[in-house]
Amino acid sequence: MGLSTVICIGMAGSGKTTFMQRLNSHLRASPDHKNPYVINLDPAVLKVPYGANIDIRDSIKYKKVMENYRLGPNGAIVTSLNLFATKIDQVIGLVEKKNDAYDHCIVDTPGQIECFVWSASGSIITESFASTFPTVIAYIVDTPRNSSPTTFMSNMLYACSILYKTKLPMIIVFNKTDVKKADFAFEWMKDFESFQEAIRNDQELNGDLGMGSGYMSSLINSMSLMLEEFYSQLDMCGVSSFTGDGFDEFLDIIDKKVDEYNDFYKIERERIIKEKELKEQARKDQSLNGLMKDLGLEDKKANNGNTDDSADVVSDLEEGENDGLVDRDEDEGIEREYTFPGEDRLEGEVNDRTAPDLQKKYQEAFEQTSKQASSETAENIARYIRQ
């Protein structure tokens, strides 16, 4: 069947990393599955409880990014992902080489969900995987914290936005079922009346302090009606990353979603990409024809036959193999306990040597230009006086 990708996304504290660790160990312990190919995309994590084949921390130093670009935590995460996204073709190449050796590629994302989902680099990374392998989004939900109808609705709206942003098959994974069973959530998603009753109970229990009262109650009632169509397109399951319960069901749903990707999503994605290419080509042709008309020239293609209007740009140039990306593609001996084990250890890291201060360069160029302009002005004045 080939390799499929599972991208784990969820709110901070939902248990994504622990879920990744349990999924990794479950696949390794199962005689019916091959070991997974593991990728960590969280540059700010100090320790991970699993061995990663590709780790963003091997090529990007998070604290150096903060220092060099004078950024806060979230800005540094986005910038780190941007830097890593420039090498995503090499990452895809490494994973493609392992296509026959692995069944699953599981990807851990930053806890700050908006840094990945709504950033350009997150879209590039997701699109790169989705265009190469069958890709499924696993949206991890903290079950105990979603026992409130309002919190639950907020999480479902976020999941809905991610589904329509990525246009990929999605599984809602209710984590931490060892603390609280997810039966209430399944019922709310299948039965609108039970969700309405939960809103009323929340209002009666909390009175004016309840988030399900007044305007908010009416709003989430309307939203729940709107989300019925959204729920119908989803698969959901409850898991416990602590005990390992529910992971066999999760893997069965993954297989189902891979078939769904091949039957529906892949065809739709190819249609959208083809449509974009045709529109872009039509825009280029229209722009070229308008230019030729303005210049009073005939169509080049009519006079000279087929012509190649393409031009080499910087992005067309091939970079060195594994340039800026350290290949950590061995399962044994992977011990990444902290982000920065030594100075200048990693190739491609962001530091003063590889990313010099652009402001300093701009200042030097400005001073040089100013001196040249002043010298030319002085010569012109002297020449005018002599005349």
Provide mean pLDDT across the span 226-230.
82
* Angstrom distance (rounded) from CA 311 to CA 299: 19
State the average pLDDT for the chain. Answer: 80
- pLDDT category at 104 given cuts 50, 70, 90 is very high
Model confidence pLDDT, tens digit, residues 293-312: 777 665 444 555 554 444 44
**Token reading at 251:** 């893997």
**Helix-strand-coil percent breakdown of the chain, rounded to 5?**
55, 10, 35
pLDDT at 138 over 50: yes
* Angstrom distance (rounded) from CA 362 to CA 296: 42
Provide mean pLDDT across the span 150-179.
92
* Angstrom distance (rounded) from CA 65 to CA 60: 8
Note the pTM of the prediction, 2 decimals. 0.70
Domains and CATH numbers, the chain: 4-207+225-263 (3.40.50.300)
